[in-house]
Amino acid sequence: MASDQGLIEKTLSLLEPTYGPVELSSAVFPFTYSDYYKKEMGEGLLKVYCSFRKLIEPDEIVGLKLAAIECEKNFVRSVSRSVNIDPGYLDRMRVVLATTKDCSHRIYLGQGIYGDIELMYRSGSFVSLEWTYPDYRAALAIEFFNKVRNVYLADLREASQKAQE
């Protein structure tokens, strides 16, 4: 999330050495779901969901969140962030975000990082939960993560077939 599309593009280029190339991305959309970031980042925020080609193990998310925090520091204006990066991972059953904020439904992963399940896969689609962020409840998010899941499952099948050869 950032105040303009140029910052989003610059941020993604800085993330690629750590995360790998972007494989899929949603359309850039106005972040109108909350005023939470308004004081820190200003108005007119834009957001995009991205998935990266590189597959990770779930325990790698802590290091990726710490790398995201460092990347955000490249875009600090005065004392405020102008970019917000929320890394996560997707598997067959869930979408998990990494966060520094503790809450009753979040699991501590280490080094000040918590795992927050945003979406669960049920009956052919991801569905939101009681605590799911409003932007992750939106149809755009659900459609995007269903698409990412399909690509992920195809990648797993391909890897399995190669392993059997």
pLDDT digits (tens, 9 = 90+) for 20-47: 899 999 999 999 999 999 999 999 999 9
Whether 79 has a pLDDT exceeding 80, the answer reads no
Is 52 in a helix, a strand, or coil?
strand
Q: What is the pLDDT of residues 82-92, one digit of tens each?
A: 999 999 999 99
Residue 53's pLDDT is 86
Domain count, the chain: 1
Backbone torsions φ then ψ of 46, nearest 5 degrees: -120, 150
Residue 59's pLDDT is 93
Q: For residue 95, what are the domain limits?
A: 5-164
Q: What is the model's pTM?
A: 0.93
Residue 144's pLDDT is 98
In angstroms, the CA 89 to CA 2 distance is 21
In angstroms, the CA 3 to CA 18 distance is 23
| Mean pLDDT of the residues in the chain | 94
Residue 65's pLDDT is 96
Residue 123's pLDDT is 97
